Amino acid sequence: MKVMSDRIGKNLGWVSLDARGTAGGVLVMWDKRVLEGLEVEVGSFSISCRFRNCEEGFVWVFSRLYGPIKGRERGELWEELAVVKGLWNDPWCIAGDFNVVWFPVETSNGRQMSTTMREFSGFIDEFELVDPPLGGGAFTWSGGEGGSLKARLDCFLFSVDWEESVSRVMQFLLPRPVSDHSPILLDYGGMRTGKSLFRGKPSFVLAKKLQALKYVLKMWNKDTLGNVSVRKDAALEKLNYWDGLERLGSLSEEDRSGQRIARDEFSHCAILEEISWRQKSRALWLKEGDNNTKFFHRMANARRRGNFISSLTVRGVRLNKEE
């Protein structure tokens, strides 16, 4: 249901969508001194408004949504947003609680890629949407006992032409006094004055996708590999503790279970640390091999020495030169 009123304030425009079942309601509000509301479309899960910036005259579309939990209804959401894009071909910004994540690393339990994730990823790829970096944390929602479950369910997405019209876009988590979701602030440096030479080109779209992926990989590296040394040291301390108890007497079955868990954790962290150092070593080789000729020749000579056969022993006879 759509509700619009001027009684609250002459400078305030707003549209609302009532809650339906487990789906929460949606509210969009704007300052009429900043934005001129041109058209409004209210769907089952979203509100879409076509705005014109009062100062620059920039026309764009904003969609606010609450994603359903059921799989069938989630498919209806993607269709609903596709209709909005077909209705207006203006730069597009989308925001809301999607109730689905893009990648497994956006959840605390790190599950494998699911069908819902693939559908969400397909929607983002189809309309070439950009996910700006998120500052202030990796997750927007927490639940379960003691907040043990975490996920990035809320975000802003926008089309490439929308991003080209503004500068320095980034989203930030705000304090969460009541809800289990963190509010998100989309911050940008203002409207761009000129048009981009690369607007709409596939290479530009790819660069923006890689930029978004870079941030996701950084967060994954921080959460998964960034604290490997700390985890390994903690596991080693636990192993020392269990070994000390074992020297004093036999361990109970529960103690042995704790000892096995600590040993598995230490082995796992050691492998991750080895992989990390191996990757860093390869990165150093690529960097130094290109920029430092002396380094390159030193490494090449070392490998040549390692591959060189100085002598052979054949039937008890040592050969140390060509014969």
199 and 69 share one domain: yes
Q: Give the contacts of 262 (CB within 8 A, at least 6 positions apart).
A: 235, 238, 239, 242
C-alpha to C-alpha distance for 213 and 229, rounded to whole angstroms: 25
Span 149-171, mean pLDDT? 89
185 and 66 share one domain: yes
- Per-residue pLDDT band for 15 (boundaries 50, 70, 90) equals very high
- The 3-state DSSP class for residue 2 equals coil
172 and 298 share one domain: no
Q: What value does the mean pLDDT of the chain take?
A: 79
pLDDT at 174 over 50: yes
247 lies in which domain range? 228-314
User: How long a stretch of residues is the chain?
Assistant: 323
- Per-residue pLDDT band for 37 (boundaries 50, 70, 90) equals very high
Amino acid present at 56: E
pLDDT at 292 over 60: no
C-alpha to C-alpha distance for 224 and 216, rounded to whole angstroms: 12
134 and 200 share one domain: yes
Q: Which residue has the higher pLDDT, 7 or 238?
A: 238
Would you say residue 4 lies in a domain? no
What is the predicted pLDDT for the residue at 1? Answer: 42
Would you say residue 164 lies in a domain? yes
92 and 28 share one domain: yes
C-alpha to C-alpha distance for 94 and 61, rounded to whole angstroms: 8
C-alpha to C-alpha distance for 217 and 102, rounded to whole angstroms: 13
Of 61-70, 96-105, 179-188, 280-289, where does mean pLDDT reach its minimum? Answer: 280-289
CA end-to-end distance (rounded Å), the chain = 95
124 and 262 share one domain: no
Last residue of a domain, one of 224, 248, 265: 224
171 and 98 share one domain: yes
Tell me how many domains the chain contains: 2
pTM: 0.59
Task: Say how many CA atoms lie within 13 Å of 283 toward its Cβ.
Answer: 6
310 and 173 share one domain: no
Write the DSSP assignment of 43-101 as a string of letters: -SSEEEEEEEETTT--EEEEEEEE--SSHHHHHHHHHHHHHHHHH--S-EEEEEE-SS-
What is the predicted pLDDT for the residue at 197? Answer: 41
Minimal CA–CA distance to 255: which of 266, 244, 242? Answer: 242
Domain of residue 30, CATH code: 3.60.10.10
pLDDT at 5 over 50: no
Are 96 and 154 spatial neighbours (Cβ–Cβ below 8 Å)? yes
**Sheet with strand 46-53: strands edge to edge:** 35-42, 46-53, 59-66, 92-97, 154-159, 129-130
pLDDT at 212 over 70: no
Would you say residue 145 lies in a domain? yes
Would you say residue 22 lies in a domain? yes
Q: Percent of the chain, pLDDT > 90?
A: 29
Q: Which H or E run includes 222?
A: helix 202-224
Q: Percent of the chain, pLDDT > 70?
A: 72
Segment 250-269, tens digit of pLDDT? 778 888 888 888 888 888 88
Q: 3-state SS of 14-28?
A: EEEECCECCECCEEE
162 and 210 share one domain: yes
283 and 176 share one domain: no
